[in-house]
Amino acid sequence: MTFRKALVVAAVALSAACGPKDTSIKIAVAVPLTGDMGTEGQGLRRAVELAVEEANASGRFPYKLVAAPYDDRADPKEAVNVANLIASDPRVVAVVGHYNSGCAISAAKVYARAPVAMVSPAATNPEVTAQQNSADWAGPRMVFRVVPTDDVQGSYAATFASKKLGKKRMALLHDKTAYGQGLAEQFKKTFLEQGGKIVSEDGISVGDKDFKALLTKIKNDPSKAEGIYFGGLYTEAGLLLKQMRELALKHPFAFISGDGSMTFGLFDVAGDAADGAYLSIVGVPADELASAKKFVEDYKARFPNDERKPFDHFGYEAANIIMAAMERAGGPDRVKVIEELRKTKHQGVLGTTVFDDKGDTTSKIVTMTRAVAKKRAFDSVR
């Protein structure tokens, strides 16, 4: 075979391999799909899929929409890789993601250069949106989020600890991540303002397993802490609870943490030791929202075998807000969608969502819950 002939054959084979051109429009779902945070990400993926399927069925769009999942493995480095992949795919209109604040902060910088809009359903560190106002921001302001931030959540938990539980001295722990440390610092700020005292502050690492030495120190410290506030995720929170029980650090010694620990995985790691832990969650759990009743039923009908995760209704709402913006923009145009997202006034499962000039939702509701191991549930504390 001559070289030219070979070239022709190769070209034909290549065009055949491409097949009929897929013209569907994508909404990217960039979340952890594997690893310990994978269950949360899978929940968000299902929620976005549900929203997209409903939109396709309603015939609102003259083209087919798909939810395209990307796995950031809860790792900021991987999030940047994924963000580059998403930004370079012209069929992606906007992104629902990321789950972890650290991932959202670094990926947003990539999306800004594209530019493509990012609506986070879960990242709560204030910096996720605040970084857009810095002078060296590479693109338009295109980061939005449908959850209240940690300055609201951390200070709510601090008020709860001092006013509701009557705690005067708390020990502070965090996992040194953007999310965990940020949350712990907000807690500290408000707790000090309320006249409380932070008796110790320690950082741990994500993936650490043994906290007994640290807990022993807190238990025997002469300053007598009355509880622990932990900024971090359920894997470490679960081990802390488990080892607290082994060291007989029990009620009324309190364990308070945030939305990163409030997930069913906590019961898998801590077992019965999770009982009585206080965990705040941004917004209101879907089960207690009248406006989310239809979503809860539809989700159950569409995914009968899957547990609905605490952030799924935020993921569903983020996708719906993006689709509403696409509709107003008159087409899947990335820049127009960003402009329309800023004008959002969406009536949906979360009630009315409006973004302030930072891109944050104007809703600042936080709910405190208490873990009940036997029911595998988090009951709201009023």
Q: Which residues bind another protein (CB under 8 A)?
A: 34-36, 38-39, 176, 201-205, 207-214, 216-217, 219-220, 235, 238-239, 242, 245-248, 265, 268-271
Question: By C-beta, is 147 or 204 nearer to another protein?
Answer: 204
Q: How far is the CB of 206 from another protein (least distance, A)?
A: 12
Q: How far apart are CA 160 and CA 112, in angstroms?
A: 37
| Residues 6 or more apart in contact with residue 12 via CB below 8 angstroms | none
- In the complex with another protein, which residue's Cβ is closer, 65 or 239? 239
Burial category of 137 from C-beta neighbours within 10 Å (exposed 0-12, middle 13-18, buried 19 and up): middle
Closest separation in Å from C-beta 148 to another protein: 28
What DSSP designation does 147 have? S
| Cβ-based nearer residue to another protein, 119 or 171 | 171
CB of 209 to another protein, least distance (A): 5
State the nearest-atom distance from the C-beta of 243 to another protein, in Å: 9
Q: How far apart are CA 200 and CA 183, in angstroms?
A: 16
What one-letter code names the amino acid at 103?
C
Residue 99 near residue 118, CB atoms below 8 Å: no
In whole angstroms, the minimum distance from the beta carbon of 54 to another protein comes to 29
Say what angle helices 312-329 and 293-302 make with each other, to 10 degrees. 100
In angstroms, give the least distance from the CB of 310 to another protein: 16
Q: Cβ closer to another protein: 217 or 300?
A: 217
CB of 301 to another protein, least distance (A): 26
User: Which of residues 174 and 346 has its CB atom nearest to another protein in the complex?
Assistant: 174
Residues 379, 370 contacting (CB under 8 angstroms) = yes
- Nearest distance, CB of residue 111 and another protein, angstroms: 26
**Angle at 144 (CA atoms; ends 291, 295), nearest 5 degrees:** 20
Nearer to another protein, 238 or 283 (CB): 238
Judged by CB, which is closer to another protein: 38, or 348?
38
CB of 176 to another protein, least distance (A): 7
Q: Pick from 116, 73, 115: which is nearest to 98 by CA?
A: 73
DSSP, res 313: H
CB 191 within 8 A of CB 220: no
Query: Based on CB atoms, which residue is closest to another protein, 99 or 355?
Result: 99
Sequence-ordered list of residues with C-beta below 8 angstroms from that of 312, at least 6 positions apart, any chain: 43, 44, 46, 47, 286, 299
Specify the DSSP element, H or E, that contains 28. Answer: strand 25-31
Query: With respect to another protein, which residue has the nearer C-beta, 14 or 213?
Result: 213
Close Cβ partners of 65 (under 8 Å, ≥ 6 residues apart)? 24, 25, 26, 27, 52, 55, 56, 323
